[in-house]
Chain A
Amino acid sequence: MSDVCIVGVGIHKFGRTDGVSGLDQGVVAVREALKDAGVEWKDIQFAYGGSDAAGNPDTMVERLGFTGLQFINVKNGCAAGGSALFATSTSIKSGEYDLGLAVGFDKHPRGAFNALPAQYNLPDWYGEAGYMITTQFFGAKITRYMYEHGISPTSLGRVALKAFDNGALAPHAWRREPVDLETIMNAPMVSDPYTKFMFCSPAEGGVALVLASEKKARELGKPLIRLKAATMRTRPAGSFEVFAPSIDIERGGSATRIASRDAFALAGVGPEDIDIAQLQDTEAGAEIMHMAENGFCRDGEQEEWLAEGWSKLNGKLPVNTDGGCLACGEPIGASGLRQVYENVVQLRGDAGARQVAGVPKTAYTHVYGAPGVSAVTILER
């Protein structure tokens, strides 16, 4: 079967852009992606759009033009971007369309996400007693992982160090200043063992991707960036998720492991074939756990990986080459598509100062979020 290809990418800078709505940041990204693909808005046959807190994506037609296209909104937590991409891709695979758009944007207030128990099917007392805090979960989850697999606090610091180094080289990143390891380690604790530099912040931004059938992509004359797999999966029994008043003693797998396994099977490649990876790093330990959950190393080997710099830009598997969520922040609807944007730029050899040497041929993305959802993509050129 012929592949679905990514023929255009656009991004609105992540971080804070006062006075510009989330939707308008998405519109900026769409215009850039159209220009990159060499097509016009009227050529786009359909779109899927993801936004968690910044309005209905289909209202973009007021800005982009009333062409009457099919435009479906996606609300799927941290997997919104991945879900939009999956839907766009399968619509083209079905043969119904040959040129479509996946777009994601968001704009969150400053500070931690403010979740209410009822939104998560939890009793009110759980929030009243002080448990509706995502960072608590992240702290408890990595504390257990470090205990079981011998991961040191310094490794958490090294993930953040790398993120800010890479972010400094990425024009779309929010945090553009390197931060040294000592500063990262000695910063105030937020939820132990994480200091404030080891958590990403809710943010703003927009990303758009134009997808085409292989035939259409050849007509457009763009480099063929093939979407070999796009999977979105939910959690199995016994997973450990945010906002859990209790968990099972018998520990299970994770949504990530399922999404990853199925994506590799679809693409017909394995972790050893991947040249670069963007892995969900809402906190430093997430990148560490996700290296193993996605099959790039065994549990515990991350200690050596980080000490040796194997996940740096010049390492054997560069991870989060634009600084990931730690440097870019997390606008939920846009975050997963940012990873794909970064991979397309790297595969084309257009990443400038952060370009991975040798121009990678295969690239992997992974998001994970509440309440146990994960999405993975694999690109090839």
Chain B
Amino acid sequence: MRPIAEGLFTDETPPRLIGGRDRETGRIVFPCPPGDRFAPHPLGRRGKVWSFTIQRFRPKSPPYGGPEAFEPFPIAYVELPGEVIVESRLTNVALDKVAIGMAVELTQIPLDPAVADAPFIHAFQPILEAA
């Protein structure tokens, strides 16, 4: 298992996304831009859906590296409290159940589930409330 790019995830279990914190203003962005202005800043794993859409058609390749066989998937902007709003796939949720305000946490999913060594990407999934 390998991430789709270096520098996206912390090396811990469970991993966190690595944002960048502006050394002067404190502004946080994702991903961490190259150069000296931003210091790597591990982001919180939990947040709320700020907005979303459903990707209903297969993106063009290149640049898209996902499977030829296409299934619609949700894309959200997830607000990580006090940090930043991150764009991310959602997973483990029915398309018609996605809603603004939904509590979600970070996970990782393979870009192509049918390929054994497919790179994995960041995704958020609903937080399962303790029974």
- Of A76-84, A135-143, A218-226, A298-306, the one touching chain B: A135-143
Chain B residues with CB below 8 A from A103, complex form: none
Q: Residues 46-64 of chain B: 1 if any A CB is under 8 Å from the residue's CB, otherwise 0?
A: 0000111111110110111
Check if B121 is an interface residue, CB within 8 A of chain A: yes
Cα A128 to Cα B64 in complex, Å, equals 4
Report the stretch among A47-55, A186-194, A310-318, A362-370 that lies at the interface.
A186-194
Interface string of B67-102 (1 = CB under 8 A from A): 000000101110100111111010000000000100
Contact pattern, B 105-126, Cβ under 8 Å of A = 1, otherwise 0: 0000001000000010100000
Min Cβ gap B77→A in Å is 6
Is B84 a contact of A191 with CB atoms below 8 Å?
no
Bound state CA distance, A246 and B5, in angstroms? 17
Interface size on A (CB < 8 Å)?
A: 36
Q: Do A188 and B56 touch across chains, with their CB atoms under 8 A apart?
A: yes
User: Contact at B64–A127, with CB atoms within 8 Å?
Assistant: yes
Instruction: Answer whether residue B104 sits at the interface, using C-beta atoms and an 8 A cutoff.
Output: no
Q: Which residue of A lies closest to B20 (CB)?
A: A246
In contact, B85 and A116 (Cβ under 8 angstroms): no
Shortest Cβ gap from A147 to chain B (Å): 5
Docked-complex contact A116 and B77, CB < 8 angstroms:
no
Report the bound CA distance from A333 to B83 in whole Å: 38
Residues of B in contact, count (CB < 8 Å):
40
Q: Are B4 and A125 in contact, with the CB atoms below 8 A? A: yes
Does A129 contact B111, Cβ atoms closer than 8 Å? yes
Instruction: Known contacts A123-B31, A125-B4, A136-B75; decide if A244 and B87 are in contact (CB<8 Å).
Output: yes
The complex places the Cα of A143 from the Cα of B77 at a distance, in Å, of 11
- Nearest Cβ distance between residue A82 and chain B, in whole angstroms? 28
Chain A residues in 8 Å Cβ range of B8: 125
Knowing A245-B31, A246-B30, say if A140 contacts B62 (CB, 8 Å).
no
Q: A117-B63, A124-B5, A129-B65 are in contact. Are A139 and B53 (CB under 8 A)?
A: yes
Q: Which residues of B have CB within 8 Å of A123?
A: 5, 31
A residues within 8 A CB of B65?
A: 128-129
Interface contact A112-B54, CB-CB below 8 Å: no
The verdict on B27 contacting chain A, using a C-beta distance below 8 Å, is yes
Contacts of B53 in A (CB 8 A): 135-136, 138-140, 143, 191-193
Contact of A132 among B28, B59, B73 (CB under 8 A): B59
Question: Which of B19, B29, B87, B111 touches A128 (beta carbons < 8 Å)?
Answer: B111
- Interchain CB contact under 8 A, B60 and A112: yes
Which of B8, B59, B83 is most buried by chain A, counting CB atoms within 10 A of its CB?
Answer: B59
Interface centre among A124, A129, A132 (most CB of B within 10 A): A129
Q: Measured between C-beta atoms, what is the minimum distance from B115 to chain A in Å?
A: 13
Known: A124-B5, A190-B56, A246-B85. A131 touches B62 (CB 8 A): no
> Is B15 engaged at the interface, CB distance under 8 Å to the other chain?
no
A140-B77 in contact (CB<8A): yes
Task: Say yes or no: is A2 at the interface (Cβ < 8 Å to chain B).
Answer: no
Q: Which chain A residue has the least Cβ–Cβ distance from B111?
A: A129
Does residue B66 face the partner (Cβ distance < 8 Å to A)?
yes
Tell me the bound Cα distance from A109 to B6 in angstroms: 34
A-B complex: 7 closest residue pairs judged by Cβ atoms: A127-B63, A139-B53, A144-B51, A128-B65, A246-B30, A125-B5, A192-B54
Which chain A residues have a beta carbon within 8 Å of chain B's beta carbons? 111-112, 114, 116-117, 123-125, 127-133, 135-136, 138-141, 143-144, 147, 188-193, 244-249
21 cross-chain CB contacts under 8 A: A114-B60, A123-B31, A127-B63, A130-B59, A131-B87, A136-B55, A140-B77, A144-B77, A147-B51, A189-B56, A244-B87, A245-B31, A245-B86, A245-B87, A246-B30, A246-B31, A246-B85, A246-B87, A247-B77, A247-B85, A249-B83
